[in-house]
Structure 1
Amino acid sequence: MPSLPSRLLRGLIDLIRGALIGIVEIIPGVSGGTIALIVGVYERLIDSASELVRGIVHLVIDPLRARGHAKSREHFGQVAWPLLIPLGIGMIAGLIAAAAVVAPIVEHHPVQSRAFFAGMILIALWVPARMVGGRWTWREWALAVPSAALAFWFTGLPTGNVAEPSALLVALSGALAVCALAIPGLSGSFILLVMGLYESTLAAVNSRDVGYLATFIVGMAIGFALFVRVLQWLLRHHHRVSLAIMTGLMAGSMRALWPWQDENGDALAPGSDIDVTVLWFAIGVIVVAATLVAESWLVRRRLAGGVDVLDD
């Protein structure tokens, strides 16, 4: 069993991981699923979320069928709580902080921000590509290339804004956005932009609009409950195929991060600030490369009792 310092260190690491995922969910074009892949929690997060959803379903349905709570306890017991709790706390804290701090930075420095995130995503493509396992075959390429083309097309869709969205539209946007969170390469914030609800959702977070946020969260819960089981099955039974598609989606989504864009998101030629922009791109590359190196070191680092601080 891990020592107390080991457990505390692991909890702190997972808290930081969750904060990173929460922060990028505010930024259109950057996928929380991508960050989950980069920091090494993606598959464990999907597995735990699946067990949590199944546990909740049995908790509600089984008493109505006079079956008790044995099944729900079984599923809850499969949840990696030491990972999920600090990750969830970090995500919420990161999302709230990003809404107040990061989003204005992106708004006032869009070119440099997009360059920074483009550098991050470019180097991060190595993560799902490596996780495919072994050398890529023609089948992986045949799936990754169309996936990249699909993401490239999707991120070129025009965006809008709905001033007073209905509750049904808010719930639907939550359901679709959380599905994008689970898929590396698809940005939940960009889906909100396409649906015209990005500004209203960001305003609801900053103003703590309980009614709006509650409706959005209900939609997220429904969308995730319907989607996560499918995703878990694909990762378990079609691992190489799923990760090849994710790699393609990540690559194609980089269209949204071309630094020079007009107000409609159409690409422009590089401006006079190209030297500063390239510098921020390089910083993004270095940040992710350093994260991956640190992750590799931590995985191999054994603390007291020979227990890895990143193992659950």
Structure 2
Amino acid sequence: MWEWKNIYRGILMGASDVVPGVSGGTIAVVLGIYDRLIEAINGFFSREWKKHLKFLLPLGIGVGISILMLSKLIEWLFGHYPGPTEFFFLGLIIGVVPFLSHKADVKHNFTSRHYLIFLIGVVIVGSLAFFQANESEPMQNLTLATYVFLFFSGWIASSAMILPGISGSFILLIIGVYTTVIHGISELRIDIIAVVGLGVALGLIFMSKIINYFLEHHTSGTFALIIGFVIGSVFVIFPGLPESNLMWFVSGVTFIAGLLAAWLLGRVEYS
């Protein structure tokens, strides 16, 4: 059976993927489909490819719709109201931690080794907050070397996209191609979309096999690392304290809205 419900899930994941600092993998965790996503990508080239296609195609449609239709809105929100927007995503990310903890059964499955892995995950992602990502104007007069660079940028970013807590867009920002990719999508530059898209697709397939192995053979340790990644992303996204009473109020409202959104999505997806 085709899982057309995944279109709305893909829309949410796609909207997050255009935000530097927010991971589509994190949203997949919020929606309760992360392990199935990894399984579907990993098994797409197996004999059960039709079953996985029925899961992945609607999700991909939703992601595509979101990136094409909502990228401008997300850019506008971050351009005009960056603080409140980031506080919304902070609430969303923090709100997913209880669901992750419940899914991993932290109380019964975690040992001191798992808490150490958790801390390592926090440090790995949290340290990204110290990177200074200075973007330039979109690349012009693209050459073969530029296309190769964009391909591997997409590959690296996709490896981050599928990991909760690590933002593929933020990796593109660090590499220095974020504005080029976003501009290419906004202007429907087929060459840029195709090259980066191919890198993303191959990177997702490669990374999904690694994650699937660890989920199957080291489940608790993998969840410990994922939870660490998610919490570490809070340090990356945190925009600083609001500068006025009005912004304190607005940011507080959007933060609570993010927590509520995570709770509502969790109730819908996990019930």
Per the TM superposition, whether the score is higher than 0.5 is yes
Does the CA contact (< 8 Å) of 1:29 and 1:257 recur in 2?
yes
Q: What does 1:1-312 correspond to in 2, within 5 Å? A: 11=4, 13-52=5-44, 55=45, 74-77=47-50, 79-135=51-107, 136-163=110-137, 164=139, 166-260=146-240, 269-272=241-244, 273-297=247-271
Name structure 1 gaps, 5 residues minimum.
1-6, 56-71, 261-268, 298-312
Give CA deviations for 1:201-221 in whole Å, capped at 9, x if unaligned: 110000001111111012112
Q: TM-score by structure 1 length? A: 0.79
Task: Return the alpha-carbon distance in structure 2 between the equivalents of residues 46 and 173 of structure 1.
Answer: 21
Deviation, structure 1 residue 174: 0.3
Q: Could you tell me which amino acid in structure 1 is paired with residue 85 of structure 2?
A: S
Q: Could you tell me which amino acid in structure 2 is paired with residue 122 of structure 1?
A: I
Q: Could you tell me which amino acid in structure 2 is paired with residue 92 of structure 1?
A: G
Does the CA contact (< 8 Å) of 2:125 and 2:236 recur in 1?
no
Does the CA contact (< 8 Å) of 2:83 and 2:242 recur in 1?
no
Aligned-pair Cα RMSD in Å: 1.7
Give CA deviations for 1:185-204 in whole Å, capped at 9, x if unaligned: 10011101111111111100
Task: Return the alpha-carbon distance in structure 2 between the equivalents of residues 286 and 46 of structure 1.
Answer: 26
Deviation, structure 1 residue 270: 3.4
Q: Could you tell me which amino acid in structure 2 is paired with residue 18 of structure 1?
A: G
Task: Return the alpha-carbon distance in structure 2 between the equivalents of residues 127 and 176 of structure 1.
Answer: 28
Give CA deviations for 1:275-307 in whole Å, capped at 9, x if unaligned: 22111111111111111112233xxxxxxxxxx
Runs of 4+ in 1 over 6 A off after TM superposition: none
Deviation, structure 1 residue 256: 2.1
Task: Return the alpha-carbon distance in structure 2 between the equivalents of residues 110 and 182 of structure 1.
Answer: 24
Task: Return the alpha-carbon distance in structure 2 between the equivalents of residues 19 and 270 of structure 1.
Answer: 29
Q: Could you tell me which amino acid in structure 1 is paired with residue 261 of structure 2?
A: V
Does the CA contact (< 8 Å) of 1:18 and 1:89 recur in 2?
yes
Task: Return the alpha-carbon distance in structure 2 between the equivalents of residues 250 and 258 of structure 1.
Answer: 13
Structure 1 range deviating more: 164-173 or 180-189:
164-173
Q: TM-score by structure 2 length? A: 0.91
Identity of aligned residues (%): 25
Name structure 2 gaps, 5 residues minimum.
none
Task: Return the alpha-carbon distance in structure 1 between the equivalents of residues 132 and 74 of structure 2.
Answer: 23
Does the CA contact (< 8 Å) of 1:128 and 1:244 recur in 2?
no
Task: Return the alpha-carbon distance in structure 2 between the equivalents of residues 255 and 138 of structure 1.
Answer: 24
Deviation, structure 1 residue 28: 1.0
SS in 2 for 1:155: helix
Task: Return the alpha-carbon distance in structure 1 between the equivalents of residues 166 and 39 of structure 2.
Answer: 19
Deviation, structure 1 residue 245: 0.2
Q: Could you tell me which amino acid in structure 1 is paired with residue 49 of structure 2?
A: F
Does the CA contact (< 8 Å) of 1:160 and 1:195 recur in 2?
no
Structure with larger Rg: 1
Deviation, structure 1 residue 222: 2.6
Task: Return the alpha-carbon distance in structure 2 between the equivalents of residues 45 and 271 of structure 1.
Answer: 40
Task: Return the alpha-carbon distance in structure 2 between the equivalents of residues 221 and 30 of structure 1.
Answer: 19
Q: Could you tell me which amino acid in structure 2 is paired with residue 50 of structure 1?
A: N
Does the CA contact (< 8 Å) of 1:115 and 1:278 recur in 2?
yes
Which has the higher relative contact order, 1 or 2, with Cα contacts under 8 A spaced 6 or more apart?
Answer: 2
Cα pair distance change 1:140/1:86, threshold 3 Å: same
